[in-house]
Structures are given as C-alpha cells and as structure tokens.
Structure 1
C-alpha cells in the first residue's frame, strides 16, 4: 500500500512540474505578443504569484500572475503584469510608458 502512495506522490509531482512549465512557456509567449503589439523591447518574464483556485469556468486550476519587463526607448524599464488562469490570459496591466 505504501508503494502505491509513493507512485501517486511521484506522479502528482511530475504532473505539477509539467503543468508549471507549460504555464511559464505560455506566459512567455503572451508577454512576447504584448511586446510586439506595443512595439517595445521585451526584457524578461518572471512569475510573481501562483496559487490553486477556482477558475472562471468553475473548475479548479492554477491562477498565476507574471511580471514582464519591457523598454520603449532602450534606457527606461517598465513592468507590466499578466494574469493567467492555467494557460489562458485573463488580464494585462500595462503602465504608462514613453512611446
């Protein structure tokens, strides 16, 4: 019985690692698309917060907030936020910046 629980624990760990990588790759892609839309240079993307919760669809899932830094003139650095539910982009908060 202990072996079964060990396999379940290992399987859950692998699944959540794979899901976190999938969400991080999706956030990177969404940040790149936002940077192209704004015509700015994408500097980096980082996870600010990740938690379990109910998604807008009513199903359980991971809610994440990612920060991406960008520059519009090569000297200034601005931070925008991406709010995601699993791999779906829910909201983008972009600060005022130079054009």
Structure 2
C-alpha cells in the first residue's frame, strides 16, 4: 500500500464520517421539531434542511445547519418556521405569529 492509497482511504473515510454526521444532525432536528410541535400543540407538516456549512462556534469546528419547517396551529393554515443548529445543539427556533 502506497502513501497515496492510504491518503485516499483516509479521505474517503473522513467524507463518509461527515455524511453520517450530517444525517445524524438532521435526525436530531427532526426529533427536536416533533417534540417542540407536540409541546406547543402544533401539527408538523414538513421539515427540510436549507443549508449546511462549517463553523467554529463553541471552540471546535462543527456543522451549522439551517432548517425550515411548515406547521399548522389549527389544522387549516400553513406557516413556515426556522431552526438553526450548530452540531446537534439548537441555537434558535423562530416561528411567525400563527392562528390557534
């Protein structure tokens, strides 16, 4: 095995690890939004990640992800909220005024 092959294997392993890390963050966001909507008696309609980038908050490099989600307060209307996470830590959840 040459140094080039070893470097290639390490790089592919790192890329695979980061893919699973981003999937894990998306699953954590889904669980958080489900619990948030259940706590506030909202109906979750959709959840989507809009962007992901590297950040150096909290003294270590991690993924900063922005999510948008649609919810309903009365079962008829549809509103769009935002969720911002750094790693698996929720930084901000923002909802517009909605009808109950």
Q: Are 1:89 and 2:94 counterparts?
A: no
Q: Is the partner of 1:80 in helix, strand or coil? A: strand
Aligned residue in 1 for 2:13: 11
Aligned residue pairs total: 98
Question: TM-score, length-normalised on structure 1?
Answer: 0.93
Q: 5 Å matches for 1:16-35?
A: 16-35=18-37
Shift of 1:44: 1.2
Question: Distance in 2 between the 1:59 and 1:6 partners?
Answer: 25
Find the structure with the greater CA-based Rg.
2
Shift of 1:19: 0.2
Question: TM-score, length-normalised on structure 2?
Answer: 0.92
Aligned residue in 1 for 2:61: 60
What CA deviation, in whole Å up to 9, does each residue of 1:45-90 have, x standing for no partner?
Answer: 10011110111x2211111111111111222111111110100111
Q: Which runs of 5+ in 2 are unaligned?
A: none
Q: Which runs of 5+ in 1 are unaligned?
A: none
Question: Distance in 2 between the 1:65 and 1:88 partners?
Answer: 12
RMSD between aligned alpha carbons? 0.9
Question: Distance in 2 between the 1:82 and 1:37 partners?
Answer: 16
Shift of 1:6: 1.2
